[in-house]
Amino acid sequence: MLVPKSSAVLLAALVASASAAVFDCTPTIDGTRYDLSSLAGPHVIRTARDTPPTTTFTNFTFDLCAALENNNIAEELQCAQGTQVCVVQSAEFVSAAGANEHIVTQVIPVATVKGDSSAYKLGEDVVVHLTGGSWGSVDDLSVDVVLSCDAAATSAVADAEVVISAATGIGSDVEGLEVISWDEKNLKLNWKTAVVCGAAEIVSAEQDVSILQDNNNNNGGSIAYRIIKYILIAVLIAAVVFFLFSAYVNYSKGKTGVDLLPSSEAILEIPYVARDFVRKVGNGFTTNTSRDGYAVF
């Protein structure tokens, strides 16, 4: 069956959107919830290396919480839609005419919203692991963003100008963000941030209070349930006793069959039957009081 081109494109778009899964920036790790939403990007790290006769620049652009937008980005510098981590490498050189020339050599989508994502603890650090990128013959690209506690770290400023340090050859739009390693297969970043300092413990404490409240509510509910259960059991036992006494009263009057069922007369006779029953039981005990030791069967 032939599918119209427009329908095929729409179907492909729906499948792609259904399979997309952006990293949740409020992950729960070992029972503790972290709120990383303040780290949402995009953020940029830029490095410069002297590679005569050129200078090689590498831009590492990423967003932990969403796919990157390609707005206001030159087409040759864009990764595909749905990319969360994009690495763009370029070379700058001086032409024969003495002008600075610029050429893009690599555009690598290292992680995408279609890949798997996770977060875990590594000592005192929180590591965000993103995958889904492919480039050339390599289809298992990945990113590890190590979030380290630094209470003095400042928040990033969106669209901040990235200035490369002459001493280190590295610049970023946020203090404490740096590249640890990049081998064109795995990118490892380190981010010193106050988000993972104390915030996790506060959230954990709130969760503990919530859990305690839930437990109290559950305990209250279970106590009420037990009370209602015991009341129902008592009512059931009383009903059984009532029917038995009524049947006994009617039987003592010589009634049989359905006539044994409770009636108003039987209800009035219950106190007297109960009195006679107690007397018989009492007489039974008094007649056996003279027997010593074990009963003879």
| Predicted pLDDT at 208 | 52
Would 224 be classed as within a structural domain?
yes
For strands 28-29 and 125-135, give the pairing: unpaired
| Predicted pLDDT at 272 | 74
pLDDT band at 18 (very low <50, low <70, confident <90, very high): very low
pLDDT tens-digit readout, 151-180: 887 665 555 578 788 788 888 888 888 999
Would 9 be classed as within a structural domain?
no
Would 52 be classed as within a structural domain?
yes
Is residue 34 located within the same domain as residue 69? yes
C-beta neighbour count of 281 within 10 angstroms = 10
| Predicted pLDDT at 264 | 57
φ/ψ of 256, rounded to 5, equals: -140, 170
CATH number at residue 143: 2.70.130.10
Would 290 be classed as within a structural domain?
no
Would 203 be classed as within a structural domain?
no
**Residues 251, 273: Cα–Cα separation, whole Å:** 12
pLDDT tens-digit readout, 84-120: 999 999 999 888 888 888 899 999 999 999 889 999 9
Is residue 39 located within the same domain as residue 75? yes
- Provide the mean pLDDT of the chain: 77
Amino acid residing at 43: H
Mean pLDDT throughout 31-58?
90
Question: Which residues, 6 or more positions from 250, have their beta carbon under 8 angstroms from its beta carbon?
Answer: 259, 260, 261, 262, 263, 266
Domain enclosing residue 218, as ranges: 210-280
Tokens of 68: 């990157």
Distance of CA 189 to the CA centre of its chain: 24
**Residues 263, 133: Cα–Cα separation, whole Å:** 84
Is residue 181 located within the same domain as residue 51? yes
Give the total number of structural domains in the chain.
Answer: 2
Is residue 28 located within the same domain as residue 141? yes
